[in-house]
Amino acid sequence: MIRIIKTEDYNEMSRKAANIIAAQVISKPNCVLGLATGSTPIGTYKRLVEMYEAGDLDFSGVKTANLDEYKGLTRDNDQSYYFFMHDNLFNHVNIDPENTNIPDGTKEDAEKECAAYEELIKELGGVDLQLLGLGHNGHIGFNEPADDFPVATHCVDLQESTIEANKRFFASIDDVPRKAYTMGIGTIMNADKILILVSGEDKADIVAKAFFGPVTPQVPASVLQLHKNVTLIADAAALSKVNK
């Protein structure tokens, strides 16, 4: 069952998302948050930082596990997800760096790194709340449309459309990484609760397909319809193609 929260705009979406994450941290100070990158959660992270600065939120016991990372980018590369997370959240709150986890894109042995990451999530006791964004093709993490749902953390070849969408962040299209490490659909579905954020009219078609169409690996996010506790926070523009 997907609970839908409709907001007026991106800012309201971000505030409501931050409230849900804050409620999780307050009710379980040593919780495990699954985190996402991309443009969608930036406002949410900003709001969480404000709550921390106001003295309303304590991250000292929180552990995190990010969804994905480009393979081959060093951590100081400003396009790595490691860099993004530090820039947008970790450097601005009192989280213990030891408690933050992101697949290591510099590890060449993909199988070994992905198996170790999957094991690490198990050792953390699983994810309490997983934050997600939604790709235009329905991807979550870097799980692209495919013939089946990938179960565990794995290495993916990025699709041309994803490389194309990401090239704006790199000097040239040749600099865009071709591979990434990502939690699998099984890893994501194992989270206790899922919070997916969507904003903008350009996502309206995929929102209709993913949450109101059939469950199919061709639209990876559609699998969320089968999860027991999913909240979708979407702005009016993203919900404009559905009757919500």
Query: Which stretch, 72-80, 88-96, 101-109, 136-144, contacts ligand F6R (CB under 6 A)?
Result: 136-144
CB-CB contact of 53 with 60 (8 Å)? no
**Residues carrying an active site annotation:** 68, 137, 139, 144
Could you give the CA distance from residue 110 to residue 27 in angstroms, rounded to a whole number? Answer: 36
Q: Is 36 in the site for ligand F6R (CB under 6 A)?
A: yes
135 binds ligand F6R, rule: CB under 6 A: yes
Residue 133 interacting with ligand F6R (CB under 6 A): yes
Residue of the chain from 14, 24, 37, 80 that contacts ligand F6R (CB under 6 A): 37
User: Least separation, in Å, of the C-beta of 204 and ligand F6R?
Assistant: 13
Contact stretch for ligand F6R (CB under 6 A) within 18-26, 86-94, 106-114, 133-141:
133-141
Contact between 14 and ligand F6R per CB under 6 A: no
Contact with ligand F6R (CB under 6 A): which of 43, 51, 68, 194? 68
The answer to the question of residue 224 lying near ligand F6R (CB under 6 A) is no
Provide the token pair at 127: 């994810």
Of the candidate residues 24, 40, 99, 222, the single one contacting ligand F6R (CB under 6 A): 40
| Region binding ligand F6R by CB under 6 A among candidate stretches 47-55, 113-121, 129-137, 150-158 | 129-137
Q: How far, in Å, CA of 31 to CA of 47, rounded? A: 19
Q: Are 71 and 80 in contact (CB under 8 A)?
A: no
Q: Is 199:232 a contact under the CB 8 Å cutoff?
A: no
| 207: CB partners within 8 A, 6+ apart | 134, 198, 234, 238, 239, 241, 242
Closest CB to ligand F6R among 56 and 201? 201
Distances (CA, A) of 127 to 11, 32, 93, 167: 26, 5, 20, 31
Cα dihedral sign for 205, 210, 211, 212?
positive
Q: Does 209 bind ligand F6R (CB under 6 A)?
A: no
Residue 234 in contact with ligand F6R, rule: CB under 6 A:
no
Is residue 190 within 8 A of residue 224, CB to CB? The reply is no
Please count the other Cβ atoms lying within 10 Å of the Cβ belonging to residue 161.
14
Count of alpha carbons within 13 Å of 163, Cβ hemisphere only?
14
Rule CB under 6 A: say whether 67 interacts with ligand F6R.
yes
Contact status: 154 vs ligand F6R (CB under 6 A): no
Q: What is the closest distance, in whole angstroms, from the C-beta atom of residue 54 to ligand F6R in the complex?
A: 26
Q: Whose CB is nearest to ligand F6R?
A: 133
For residues 139 and 154, give the distance between their C-alpha atoms in angstroms, rounded to a whole number: 14
Residue 85 is a binding residue for ligand F6R (CB under 6 A) = no
Chain residues binding ligand F6R by CB under 6 A are: 36-40, 67-68, 133-135, 139-142
